[in-house]
Amino acid sequence: MTFAIGALAPNFTLPDTYGNETPLRDAGTGPTVVVFTCNHCPYALAWHDRLQAVARDYGPRGVRILQINSNDATRYPHDSLEAMSARVAAGEFASPYLHDATQQVARAWEATVTPDVYVIDADGRLAYHGAPDGDHNDESLAAAWLRDALDAVLDGRAADPAETEPVGCTIKWSR
Amino acid sequence: MTPVVELLYWDGCPSHPAALADLRAALAELGRPDVELTLTEVTSDAQACERGFVGSPTLRIDGVDPVPPPPGEPPGLTCRLYRRRDGRHSPTPDPADLRDALRRLLPPPTQESRT
């Protein structure tokens, strides 16, 4: 794996569901969470509300959260841009939901599953990579690994753990 | 005839070990050692279409899906989405739904299978 803890995050700009081009980093950007997710995966959906709660809780603390769908919608129509827009319109997302139609961002970030969670510190370096918490089926865990990593980054400490095993559906690559 | 429960799975999804454990626990709880449990790996889109496999895991109790997918759900190599009884999304069927389906769909055990 070349995108390791401490490495600079590959830059990107992707459209959200309204077509607004959204960069990874803006001027004055603080820590950023990038979540590769999708519409149909039971693991992504099981963790979804916990991730939106993180977006709501940490947004006021200067943390930006970007959620990205990179799945091939040709073979998996539930992951189409139209389906993404419908979920956003229904109020299911607490932060921008971006479309990686070419899958170049998922490849550059070496994402493998949904959800796959990355925390980037204010210097643009990878501080945490893995799952939101230890059990998709236990809502009480409240994305604790992600929250701990964000608390560490906001305090200027190293995340511990900095890496956990991402668990979920494989990203659906185009053929 | 021996009743058969088939668990179809795709190895690219991590859900089937939990589903298999739930299935074995439900059969044990219901006292059905007579049921034959088979595992079938689905490895291609063509096979998914042929078997009506809409995601991993998919169960068939004597050929019947105990939690039928929504109409029009496309077959494919992916993780299957289920709902728990409390409405939460889940990669495996609710164990209570599984037990109810086994009670409903399995033929009663024969006298011979009880002994």
With cut-offs at 50, 70 and 90, classify the pLDDT of residue A56. very high
Q: Is residue B42 part of a domain?
A: yes
Paired residues of A28 in beta bridges: none
Q: Is residue B57 part of a domain?
A: yes
Within 10 A of B85 (CB to CB), how many other CB atoms are there?
10
Using the predicted structure, report yes or no on whether residue A33 has a pLDDT greater than 80: yes
Contact check, Cβ <8 Å, A42/B12:
no
Question: How far is Cα A127 from Cα A119, in angstroms, rounded to an integer?
Answer: 5
With cut-offs at 50, 70 and 90, classify the pLDDT of residue A29. confident
Q: What is the pLDDT of residue A23?
A: 96
What average pLDDT score do residues A22-44 get?
93
Give the DSSP letter of residue B73.
P
Residues 75-114 of chain B with CB under 8 A from chain A are 76, 78-82, 88-91
- The angle that helices B16-29 and B95-105 make with each other, rounded to 10 degrees, is 50
Per-residue pLDDT for chain B (115 aa), expressed as one digit of tens each? 889 999 999 999 999 999 999 999 999 999 999 999 999 999 999 999 999 999 999 999 999 999 999 898 999 999 999 999 999 999 999 999 999 999 999 998 876 665 5
Phi then psi for residue A29, to 5 deg, are -65, 135
Question: How far is Cα A127 from Cα A102, in angstroms, rounded to an integer?
Answer: 26
DSSP H/E element including A60: none
Q: Which of B57, B8, B45 is nearest to A74 (CA)?
A: B45
Q: What is the pLDDT of residue B114?
A: 58
Q: Is residue B17 part of a domain?
A: yes
Q: What is the pLDDT of residue A119?
A: 98
CA-based Rg of chain A, rounded to a whole angstrom? 15
Domain count, chain B: 1
- Comparing CB atoms, the residue among A42, A76, A167 nearest residue B89 is A42
Q: Beta strand A32-37 with A64-69: parallel, antiparallel or unpaired?
A: parallel
* Chain A interface, best mutation among B16, B89, B90, by max A CB count within 10 A: B89
Contacts of A75 in chain B (CB under 8 A): 45, 76
Domain coverage including residue B24: 4-108
What is the set of domains in chain A, with CATH numbers?
29-170 (3.40.30.10)
Residues in CB range of B100: below 8 A, 6 or more apart: none
* Chain B interface, best mutation among A114, A137, A172, by max B CB count within 10 A: A137
Helices (H), A4-157: 42-58, 81-89, 104-108, 144-155
3-state SS, residue A87: helix
Q: Is residue B58 part of a domain?
A: yes
With cut-offs at 50, 70 and 90, classify the pLDDT of residue A1. low
Question: How far is Cα A111 from Cα A129, in angstroms, rounded to an integer?
Answer: 10
* Chain B interface, best mutation among A169, A171, A173, A175, by max B CB count within 10 A: A169
Q: Evaluate whether A47 touches A53 at the Cβ level (below 8 Å).
A: no
Global pTM reads 0.94
CATH number of residue B67's parent domain: 3.40.30
Q: Is residue B27 part of a domain?
A: yes
Q: Is residue B32 part of a domain?
A: yes
Q: How close A25 gets to chain B, by Cα (Å)?
A: 32
Q: Which of B93, B38, B29 is nearest to B67 (CA)?
A: B93
Contact check, Cβ <8 Å, B78/A137:
no
Q: Which of B71, B78, B30, B23 is nearest to B54 (CA)?
A: B78
Structure-block tokens of residue A114: 């949904």
Q: Is residue B113 part of a domain?
A: no
With cut-offs at 50, 70 and 90, classify the pLDDT of residue A75. confident
Rounded to 5°, angle at Cα B103 from A137 and B64? 80
